[in-house]
C-alpha cells in the first residue's frame, strides 16, 4: 500500500468537568488526530493519545508532531510499500515515541482494513460484541463532591469504578465509597504518586476489597512494585511501567504486577497490545483496556481491543459523555453498563467533519507524491 498524504491535526475539546489526577488537573483535552490517504484515496483515521504536556508520559503533542514530521513519516515515505504490520519495524530505529508510532500504525491499519472490508475488532480477534464499562473518577474537591460524582456514575450503570488517589486523598475517600457501595467492583490509581516508604500506608487499602491498585510507584521502580506486591493482598497493576511486550514479560516474571492495564498508545499500537494480551491470556493474567480521554476515534479502536477474550476486567471504556458534551464521531452511548463494539470496516467510525473543523487549531499536511 502507498500512503500519499499524512494530515496532522490539533484539536481542542472542553471536558464536561475538570479531571484531576496526582499529576495535574485538566479542563480541556487537546488531541492530535492523524489522517492518512492511500493512493486509491482510501482514508484512515487515528488519534495520538499524548497529552499537551509530558506529565503522564515523556511524550506530548508538540513533541509527537515533530517526531512524526521529522523522523517517522519520512521513514515510512522511504519504504516502497507500507502496511500496518511493517510500521513498527520501519520505525524501530527511532527510540521510544510509542504514542506517535501507535497513531501512525493505527491510521494505516484503519485504511488497510477498509480496503480489506473487515472491522478492527474482527482483525484483532475479538469474541464479544459489547464490553462492560468502567469509569475513572478524578480527585474531587471534597468527599461530598466525590460521593455525588460516583453516585451519578453508579446510577448511570457503570460496572466498575476507579478512583484516582494521591497522598492525602486515599484511605478516607476509598473507605467512604466502599461503605456506600459495598458490592461495586472498585479499584484505585495513583499514577506513580507514592514511594517505597509508603508501603505500610498503602497496605491499609487491603481492607476495602479492591480489584487492584494501579501504578502506585515510579514507572521505573519495578523492584519497589514487586516488594509492595509481596506485602499487599490487593493485586498490584502496572500502567505507566508497561511500554512493550518485553516490559510486560519482565514485570510479570519479577512479580511486580499481577494484572496489566493495556493502553495501545503507551505500548506502541494495537498490534503490540494484542501480543501483550496473548502472552497474558496464555498465563491466565487478567488484562483490561486503559483510557486516555480519547475522542470517538480512539474510543472506537479501544473498544475493539477490549472485546478480545483476555480482557476479563472492565476497562476505562466509558461513554463519550463521560468526558465530552459533543464527540467528534457519533457518540458512544452506554446501554445497561455496556458499550457496543463497532462492527463497521476499520475502526468503524469517521469524524463529523463540520464539528472537527470547528474545533481545529492547526492542520499540517505531509505529502508523499
Ligand atoms: O477513561 O479515558 C479515560 C481516562 C482514564 O484515568 C484515566 N486515564 O492514568 O490511566 C490514567 C488516566 C490518564 C488520563 C492518563 C489522561 C493520562 C492522561
**Residue of the nearest CA to atom 6 in ligand 1?**
136
pLDDT in tens, 329-350: 999 999 999 999 999 999 999 9
Q: Exactly one of 101, 114, 164, 275 is catalytic; which is it? A: 164
Mutate-to-test residue for ligand 1 from 49, 59, 292, 313, highest number of ligand atoms within 8 A of CB:
292
φ/ψ region of 225 (left if φ > 0, alpha if ψ in -120 to 50, else beta) reads: alpha
- Report the pLDDT value the prediction gives residue 256, as an integer from 0 to 100: 98
Smallest CA-to-CA distance from 263 within 290, 296, 236 is with: 290
**Where exactly does CATH 3.30.390.10 map onto the chain?**
1-116+352-365
**Where exactly does CATH 3.20.20.120 map onto the chain?**
120-338
Instruction: Respond yes or no: is residue 159 known to be catalytic.
Output: no
In whole angstroms, give the CA distance from residue 3 to residue 75. 12
Distance 81 CA to ligand 1 centre (A): 35
Q: Exactly one of 101, 159, 162, 263 is catalytic; which is it? A: 263
Element (H, E) at 162: strand 160-164
- Dihedral through CA 262, CA 266, CA 271, CA 277, nearest 10? -20
The mean pLDDT value of the chain amounts to 98
Task: Write the CA distances from 171 to 58, 168, 178, 195, integer angstroms.
Answer: 29, 8, 10, 16
In whole angstroms, give the CA distance from residue 173 to residue 265. 30
Q: Decide whether any atom of ligand 1 lies within 6 Å of the 318 Cβ.
A: yes
In whole angstroms, give the CA distance from residue 21 to residue 25. 6
pLDDT-derived band at 12, boundaries 50, 70, 90: very high
- Report the pLDDT value the prediction gives residue 285, as an integer from 0 to 100: 98
CATH architecture for residues 1-116+352-365: 2-Layer Sandwich (3.30)
Distance 262 CA to ligand 1 centre (A): 12
- Dihedral through CA 191, CA 194, CA 198, CA 199, nearest 10? 40
Q: What is the average per-residue pLDDT within 218-222?
A: 98
SS3 328: coil
Q: How many CB atoms lie within 10 A of CB 284?
A: 8
Distance 319 CA to ligand 1 centre (A): 14
Instruction: Give the list of residues 6+ apart from residue 351 with CB closer than 8 angstroms, or none.
Output: 33, 45, 296, 297, 328, 329
Altogether, the residues listed in the chain come to a count of 369
Q: Decide whether any atom of ligand 1 lies within 6 Å of the 291 Cβ.
A: yes
pLDDT in tens, 149-168: 999 999 999 999 999 999 99
**Residue of the nearest CA to atom 5 in ligand 1?**
291
Contact at 8 Å (CB) between 367 and 5? yes
pLDDT-derived band at 88, boundaries 50, 70, 90: very high
Instruction: Respond yes or no: is residue 128 known to be catalytic.
Output: no
Contact at 8 Å (CB) between 111 and 42? yes
Q: Has residue 369 got a pLDDT over 80?
A: no
Q: Decide whether any atom of ligand 1 lies within 6 Å of the 59 Cβ.
A: no
**Residue of the nearest CA to atom 15 in ligand 1?**
292
Mutate-to-test residue for ligand 1 from 259, 291, 318, 327, highest number of ligand atoms within 8 A of CB:
291
Q: Which residues pair with 115 in a beta bridge?
A: none
- Report the pLDDT value the prediction gives residue 245, as an integer from 0 to 100: 98
Mutate-to-test residue for ligand 1 from 24, 316, 332, highest number of ligand atoms within 8 A of CB:
316
- Report the pLDDT value the prediction gives residue 314, as an integer from 0 to 100: 97
Q: Decide whether any atom of ligand 1 lies within 6 Å of the 265 Cβ.
A: no
Smallest CA-to-CA distance from 45 within 94, 117, 112 is with: 112
Q: Could you tell me what percent of the chain has a pLDDT over 90? A: 99
Q: Decide whether any atom of ligand 1 lies within 6 Å of the 153 Cβ.
A: no
pLDDT in tens, 307-322: 999 999 999 999 999 9
Q: What is the CATH number of domain 120-338?
A: 3.20.20.120
- Report the pLDDT value the prediction gives residue 174, as an integer from 0 to 100: 98
Q: Decide whether any atom of ligand 1 lies within 6 Å of the 136 Cβ.
A: yes
Element (H, E) at 161: strand 160-164
Q: What is the average per-residue pLDDT within 92-120?
A: 98
Amino acid at each position: 500500500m502507498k500512503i500519499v498524504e499524512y494530515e496532522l491535526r490539533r484539536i481542542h475539546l472542553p471536558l464536561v468537568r475538570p479531571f484531576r489526577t496526582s499529576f495535574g488537573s485538566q479542563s480541556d483535552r487537546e488531541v492530535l488526530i492523524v489522517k492518512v490517504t492511500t493512493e486509491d484515496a482510501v482514508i484512515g483515521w487515528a488519534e495520538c493519545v499524548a497529552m499537551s504536556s509530558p506529565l503522564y508520559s515523556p511524550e506530548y503533542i508538540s513533541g509527537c508532531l515533530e517526531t512524526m514530521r521529522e523522523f517517522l513519516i519520512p521513514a515510512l515515505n522511504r519504504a516502497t510499500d507500507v502496511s500496518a504490520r511493517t510500521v513498527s519495524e520501519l520505525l524501530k530505529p527511532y527510540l521510544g515515541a510509542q504514542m506517535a508510532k501507535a497513531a501512525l500504525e493505527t491510521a494505516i491499519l484503519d485504511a488497510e482494513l477498509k480496503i480489506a472490508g473487515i472491522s478492527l475488532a474482527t482483525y484483532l480477534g475479538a469474541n464479544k460484541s459489547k464490553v462492560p464499562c468502567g469509569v475513572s473518577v478524578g480527585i474531587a474537591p471534597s468527599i461530598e463532591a466525590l460521593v455525588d460524582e460516583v453516585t451519578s456514575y453508579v446510577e448511570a450503570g457503570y460496572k466498575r469504578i476507579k478512583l484516582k488517589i494521591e497522598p492525602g486523598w486515599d484511605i478516607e475517600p476509598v473507605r467512604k465509597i466502599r461503605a456506600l457501595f459495598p458490592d461495586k467492583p472498585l479499584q484505585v490509581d495513583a499514577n506513580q504518586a507514592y514511594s517505597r516508604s509508603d508501603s505500610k500506608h498503602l497496605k491499609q487499602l487491603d481492607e476495602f476489597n479492591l480489584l487492584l491498585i494501579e501504578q502506585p510507584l515510579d514507572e521505573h521502580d519495578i523492584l519497589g512494585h514487586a516488594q509492595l506486591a509481596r506485602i499487599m493482598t490487593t493485586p498490584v497493576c502496572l500502567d505507566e511501567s508497561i511500554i512493550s511486550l518485553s516490559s510486560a514479560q519482565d514485570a510479570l516474571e519479577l512479580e511486580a504486577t499481577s494484572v496489566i492495564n493495556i493502553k495501545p498508545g503507551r505500548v506502541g499500537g494495537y498490534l503490540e497490545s494484542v501480543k501483550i494480551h496473548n502472552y497474558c491470556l496464555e498465563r491466565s493474567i487478567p488484562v483490561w483496556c486503559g483510557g486516555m480521554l480519547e475522542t470517538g476515534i480512539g474510543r472506537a479502536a479501544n473498544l475493539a481491543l477490549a472485546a478480545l477474550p483476555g480482557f476479563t476486567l472492565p476497562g476505562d471504556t466509558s461513554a463519550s459523555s463521560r468526558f465530552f458534551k459533543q464527540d467528534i464521531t457519533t457518540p458512544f452511548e452506554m446501554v445497561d453498563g455496556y458499550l457496543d463494539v463497532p462492527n463497521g470496516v476499520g475502526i468503524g467510525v469517521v469524524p463529523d467533519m463540520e464539528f472537527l473543523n470547528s474545533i481545529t487549531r492547526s492542520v499540517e499536511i505531509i505529502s508523499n507524491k
